[in-house]
Chains A and B, each alone.
Chain A
Amino acid sequence: MTAALSIRNLCKTYGNGFEALKGISLEVQQGDFFALLGPNGAGKSTTLGIVSSLVNKSSGDVEVFGHSLDKAHAQAKMCLGVVPQEFNFNQFEKVMDIVTTQAGYYGIGPRLARERAEFYLKKLGLWDKRNQVSRMLSGGMKRRLMIARALVHEPRVLILDEPTAGVDIELRRSMWAFLQDINRAGTTIILTTHYLEEAESLCRNIAIIDHGRIVKNTSIKALLQQLNTETIILDIDPPQGTLPALNGYQARLEDDHTLVVDVEKNQGLSGLFAELSQQRIEVQSMRNKANRLEELFVSLVDKNLKDEKSA
């Protein structure tokens, strides 16, 4: 099966000599929900910029559904919808005009453009605002407008560059649900995000990019399996002034009611509960530390930094 996006040996050196991409290769399969992660300045936006034709590459190849961006750029672009990080629509135009104009750029006639615009604006809760000038919209609405605009030509791949940056939790959740819907309907989704929780909840596959290189490209599941330890937070009673002795477990007291324990893969939890029980410490509630991926991400990026320094 042809990959939805295929990147080979992509390099980018900016005019000031900054080497943003040092030969990255990447494949995103059709129907995937893919995350591109990396610290600020790692090369995520440059990669997506090149794929979206907003940045000129220095060398390498990009194919979208088998269409080369160099040789068949119109076919490749037809397959792509792009939601950039920053608002980039005309702030003086009406919502409806922004969406139908974008449809026109893809050769979609006015009638179909209006039908599609109505569909996506309704789906994204913007239909009531269709005649409003776009600068009057709230930040969240502007973001949804960019999604409606990117979808109006019904692309096979939707690229989102930090789509939920600065968006409140409720809206973020509703955007996640919407993106999951269109992914289930067959649209391949590629996103960059700083919220690792977002990648963990939405994406099946992931690439971590750092200093212009891919340092990891695997499935979220496989990535999480690499975690040897899981951090568990226990609310305990009675309060403990000193750290209870837990044989074989790395633990620390966050406060006198909260015990944080690192449990290795092969340790299991039964032993931990038995030890606590022996010491007459009751566990009132328990939860996983949510940022599992974050820990892994930080360790990968740190490792890459050390490798670069030693090289």
Chain B
Amino acid sequence: MKPRELLIAFWTIVVKEIRRFMRIWPQTLLPPAITMTLYFIIFGNLIGSRIGEMGGFDYMEYIVPGLIMMSVITNSYGNVVSSFYGTKFQRNVEELLVSPIPNWIILCGYVVGGVARGVGVGLIVTLLSLFFTDLQVHHLFVTISIVLMTAVLFSLGGFINAIYANSFDDISIVPTFILTPLTYLGGVFYSIQLLPEFWQGVSMLNPILYMVNTFRYGILGVSDINIVFAFSMLLAVIAVLFSYSLYLLQKGKGIRS
């Protein structure tokens, strides 16, 4: 395929993905808006006012970056895993397989679709947070790049999950039993400085801690972790997941007999 044709094919997948999550907005865009508003009200306003400061900031200010990041993570992952598994389930993945689109374009199309939803929901949550706190961006480049990288990483994760999934149960196992606990324990609601030393060490093994804290650094300028290390780790994990996804596509795992 010529470069222009590749671009059209890529854009077709992206538009299809965006059209999908926009069409079912009561399932994709509304729930995170409601859930995060409840978090802001309950944890930020009601409980937060009694907690006082965290890391030198109001509790509400402290949790907003974590909650935005939580939305980005769950929505970028959820978009790709449900969309690609649905495509497999309805067998319309065959539309892609019979076409001349290279596998890397298919992968990039789905990932950008996931990033679009993750970032879109992140923006909605950010706008909602403005009703509860003033949001200052301390470091714009760090803020934008960590959001994009996190969305890419979890979109790739969702893609791999969808390839391996054989039932709708299989696409909810990872978000329920892995992503949600890691997100809650990833410093969304607290600084790991509050934990005993042993648990601080354990927390450092949680990759989501690095994403949440790097984003918090971008917004507030405070972090529990080394930002350069976080970026390097994210880049490395993205490279590994991208290569593995391509390998699975090439092999036809779960999509070709």
Chain A residues positioned under 8 Å from B96 (CB to CB): 105
State A89–B147 Cα separation when bound (angstroms).
33
Chain B residues positioned under 8 Å from A107 (CB to CB): 1-2, 4-6, 8-9, 100
| Proximity string of chain B (90-127) to chain A, C-beta cutoff 8 Å, 1 when within and 0 when not | 11101111111110000000000000000000000000
State A105–B8 Cα separation when bound (angstroms).
7
A109 in contact with B90 given A54-B257, A74-B100, A101-B16 (CB within 8 Å): no
Chain B residues positioned under 8 Å from A149 (CB to CB): 95
| Proximity string of chain B (78-92) to chain A, C-beta cutoff 8 Å, 1 when within and 0 when not | 000000001100111
Q: Out of B5, B98, B102, B252, name the residue touching A82 (CB < 8 Å).
A: B98
Instruction: Tell me if B243 counts as interface (CB < 8 A to partner A).
Output: no
Q: Do residues B90 and A53 form an inter-chain contact, with CB atoms below 8 A?
A: no
State A197–B19 Cα separation when bound (angstroms).
43
A108 in contact with B98 given A92-B23, A101-B16 (CB within 8 Å): no
Instruction: Tell me if A78 counts as interface (CB < 8 A to partner B).
Output: yes
In angstroms, how far is the closest chain A Cβ from the Cβ of B67?
31
Chain A residues positioned under 8 Å from B8 (CB to CB): 104, 107-109
Interfacial residues of chain A within 1-21, with CB under 8 A of chain B in the complex: 14
Q: Is the interface of B mostly helix, strand, loop or mixed?
A: helix
Chain A residues positioned under 8 Å from B15 (CB to CB): 104
Q: Do residues A49 and B257 form an inter-chain contact, with CB atoms below 8 A?
A: yes
Q: Out of B6, B90, B98, B257, name the residue touching A90 (CB < 8 Å).
A: B90
State A14–B257 Cα separation when bound (angstroms).
8
In the complex, number of A-B residue pairs with CB atoms less than 8 Å apart: 85
Instruction: Tell me if A91 counts as interface (CB < 8 A to partner B).
Output: yes
Chain A residues positioned under 8 Å from B257 (CB to CB): 14, 46, 49, 54-56
Q: Do residues B92 and A80 form an inter-chain contact, with CB atoms below 8 A?
A: no
Q: CB-nearest residue of chain A relative to B4?
A: A107
| Proximity string of chain B (1-23) to chain A, C-beta cutoff 8 Å, 1 when within and 0 when not | 11011101101110110010001
Q: CB-nearest residue of chain B relative to A75?
A: B100
State A61–B68 Cα separation when bound (angstroms).
52
State A161–B245 Cα separation when bound (angstroms).
30
State A101–B16 Cα separation when bound (angstroms).
8
Q: CB-nearest residue of chain B relative to A77?
A: B100
> Count the A residues whose beta carbon is within 8 Å of the partner chain — how many?
32
Chain B residues positioned under 8 Å from A108 (CB to CB): 5, 8
| Proximity string of chain A (273-302) to chain B, C-beta cutoff 8 Å, 1 when within and 0 when not | 000000000000000000000000000000
Interfacial residues of chain A within 92-125, with CB under 8 A of chain B in the complex: 92, 97, 101-102, 104-109
Instruction: Tell me if B256 counts as interface (CB < 8 A to partner A).
Output: yes
Q: Do residues B1 and A53 form an inter-chain contact, with CB atoms below 8 A?
A: no
Q: Do residues B94 and A88 form an inter-chain contact, with CB atoms below 8 A?
A: yes
Instruction: Tell me if A38 counts as interface (CB < 8 A to partner B).
Output: no
Chain B residues positioned under 8 Å from A102 (CB to CB): 95, 99
> Count the B residues whose beta carbon is within 8 Å of the partner chain — how many?
31
Q: Do residues B98 and A53 form an inter-chain contact, with CB atoms below 8 A?
A: yes
Interfacial residues of chain B within 200-257, with CB under 8 A of chain A in the complex: 252, 256-257
Instruction: Tell me if A84 counts as interface (CB < 8 A to partner B).
Output: yes
A106 in contact with B97 given A56-B256, A74-B102 (CB within 8 Å): no
Q: Do residues B12 and A52 form an inter-chain contact, with CB atoms below 8 A?
A: no
Q: Do residues B99 and A88 form an inter-chain contact, with CB atoms below 8 A?
A: no
Instruction: Tell me if A73 counts as interface (CB < 8 A to partner B).
Output: yes
Q: CB-nearest residue of chain B relative to A52?
A: B98
- Most-contacted residue by chain B among A46, A89, A149 (CB, 10 A): A89
Chain B residues positioned under 8 Å from A86 (CB to CB): 91
State A82–B256 Cα separation when bound (angstroms).
15
Q: Do residues B23 and A88 form an inter-chain contact, with CB atoms below 8 A?
A: no
Q: CB-nearest residue of chain B relative to A73?
A: B100
Chain B residues positioned under 8 Å from A106 (CB to CB): 5, 9, 99-100
Q: Out of A53, A73, A78, A88, name the residue touching B92 (CB < 8 Å).
A: A88
Chain A residues positioned under 8 Å from B94 (CB to CB): 52, 54, 82, 84, 88
In angstroms, how far is the closest chain B Cβ from the Cβ of A151?
13
State A55–B252 Cα separation when bound (angstroms).
9
- Most-contacted residue by chain A among B8, B9, B13, B86 (CB, 10 A): B8
State A88–B94 Cα separation when bound (angstroms).
7
State A9–B6 Cα separation when bound (angstroms).
33
Chain B residues positioned under 8 Å from A14 (CB to CB): 257
State A183–B103 Cα separation when bound (angstroms).
32
| Proximity string of chain A (56-84) to chain B, C-beta cutoff 8 Å, 1 when within and 0 when not | 10000000000000000111011010101
State A78–B95 Cα separation when bound (angstroms).
13
| Proximity string of chain A (165-201) to chain B, C-beta cutoff 8 Å, 1 when within and 0 when not | 0000000000000000000000000000000000000
Q: CB-nearest residue of chain B relative to A110?
A: B8
Q: Do residues A104 and B97 form an inter-chain contact, with CB atoms below 8 A?
A: no
In angstroms, how far is the closest chain B Cβ from the Cβ of A115?
15
State A56–B254 Cα separation when bound (angstroms).
12
Chain A residues positioned under 8 Å from B101 (CB to CB): 105
Q: Out of B4, B91, B99, name the residue touching A77 (CB < 8 Å).
A: B99
In angstroms, how far is the closest chain A Cβ from the Cβ of B164?
16
In angstroms, how far is the closest chain A Cβ from the Cβ of B162?
15
Q: Can you list 16 pairs linking A and B with CB atoms under 8 Å apart?
A: A14-B257, A53-B98, A54-B97, A55-B256, A55-B257, A74-B100, A89-B90, A92-B23, A101-B95, A105-B95, A105-B101, A106-B5, A106-B100, A107-B4, A107-B9, A107-B100
